[in-house]
Amino acid sequence: MKKTFRHHAGFAIVESLIALAVTVLGVLGITGMEMFLSRSEDVAAQRTVATRMAQECIESMRSFTNTGAGVWAAPPSPTCPGTFPMTVGNATYDRAITIDNASYLAMLTATVTVTWSDRAGGAQSVVLSTVISKTDPADSGSLAFPLPQNTILKRPKDRNLNIPIPAVSLDTLTGGTGKSAFLLQPGLLGGYAVIFDNISGDVVKVCRPLGLLDSSSVADILAALGSLGLSACTDQAGYILTGYVGRDSSVSTTVWNGLALLLGMNYDLLSPQLGITCKFGDFNTDFKYYACMVPVASAGSTWSGKVRLGGLQLSTANLFVCRYQYVAAPGLDDNDRNVQDSVNGYLNVNHSIDRQNYLLVSAATASCPASMTLAGVSEGLVHQDCRNAVIGAPRLAQCPAKSL
């Protein structure tokens, strides 16, 4: 009995030792796993910090407001924020920037590498790469549609904004790719159409198609120009000038309708002394559209001169003309803004211009309506004074006869 008891007692001690060893191993395993998870969590937090550092550097390199002429002369020196090495929390970070200018002169490949050692001494890194295009931020308006303050959305019909909307695309005609036509003057014996370059918006040819009317359809215009042949048209550089003439509520319907046969555009050009062709749209209840082609000697040449409404000298309704003049904005020169010098008018116009708008007013005192002035957009200025009180030579100069 005693021997048996001793045998069992010895066996229990061995079992206890084995159980203790298993427990110790389990505790060590759990501790190791906890240490691993803690280290991984620490590295994840450090990686977030390193990624933010790399992103800040890339965004800093992208945040230019203008570019110089031409392409990159040499890789630009990065101006990323921060001084490195930089310690954040329990890690010290270093940063390296590489800019590759070897292959694409207009585009740069930039790589930002942030390195650090975790708490176990292991090497860690974050690498971010990007392509920086040398595109002037001002060119972001290349797809354009003008709003009152010359902001940008989209080009109508994928062509220059200065081309009148009714102009017809000539892409289907031989030699017409990238061009549009606008009928300025109809005529059964020979109309007058101008051909635009869709990119520049400038006039490149004039054509005289037969049998076209103001009511002619797009198909009729294409047929007439196709029959004539664009190669038979005359090469002629020029610029389009368009806008509206509106009437203030002070101008009665009777006076407005009575001017239908009188109103036209009158030009006093300083240069060049070339013929101008205009289209004065049909009278509407409140406004009238006009479009004129001003020829120049060659592409890139300029013209200067005054523009006035003609025919007002025959009225006795105390009429004067106010001009909408737009505020300065990026991309607009004085001619775009409808700034006309009091003596010479437009100066050195070298491109087509639109939104050259006027308002006809009837009042004893020449003062433009307050509604023409809108903060940040436009103001109203007296352009022609044809009131009854203005007599003699001043009236003749301000209020010429209709010429176009």
Per-residue model confidence (pLDDT) at position 144? 42
Per-residue model confidence (pLDDT) at position 161? 82
Per-residue model confidence (pLDDT) at position 372? 93
Residue spans of the chain under pLDDT 70: 1-11, 24, 26-38, 64-79, 101-106, 134-155, 261, 273, 283-284, 314-315, 403-404
Per-residue model confidence (pLDDT) at position 153? 44
Spell out the SS3 assignment of the chain.
Answer: CHHHHHHHHHHHHHHHHHHHHHHHHHHHHHHHHHHHHHHHHHHHHHHHHHHHHHHHHHHHHHCCCCCCCCCCCCCCCCCCCCCCCEEECCEEEEEEEEEECCCCCCEEEEEEEEEEECCCCCEEEEEEEEEEECCCHHHHHCCCCECCCCCECCCHHHCCCCCCCCCEECCCCCCCCCEEEEEEECECCCCEEEEEECCCCCEEEEECCCCECCCCCHHHHHHHHHHHCHHHCEEEEEEEEEEEEEECCCCCHHHHHHCCCCCEEEEEEEECCCCCEEEECCCCCCEEEEEEEEECCCCCCCEEEEEEEECHHHCCCCEEEEEEEECCCCCCCCCCCCCCECCCEEEEECCCECCCCEEEEECCCCCCCHHHCECCCEEEEEEEEECCCCCHHHHHHHCCCCCC
Is 80-134 CATH 2.20.25?
yes
Domain ranges of the chain: 80-134, 136-232, 239-404
Per-residue model confidence (pLDDT) at position 214? 84
pLDDT per residue as tens digits for the range 197-211:
998 889 999 999 988
Per-residue model confidence (pLDDT) at position 151? 41
For the entire predicted model, the pTM comes to 0.60
Per-residue model confidence (pLDDT) at position 163? 87
Per-residue model confidence (pLDDT) at position 169? 93
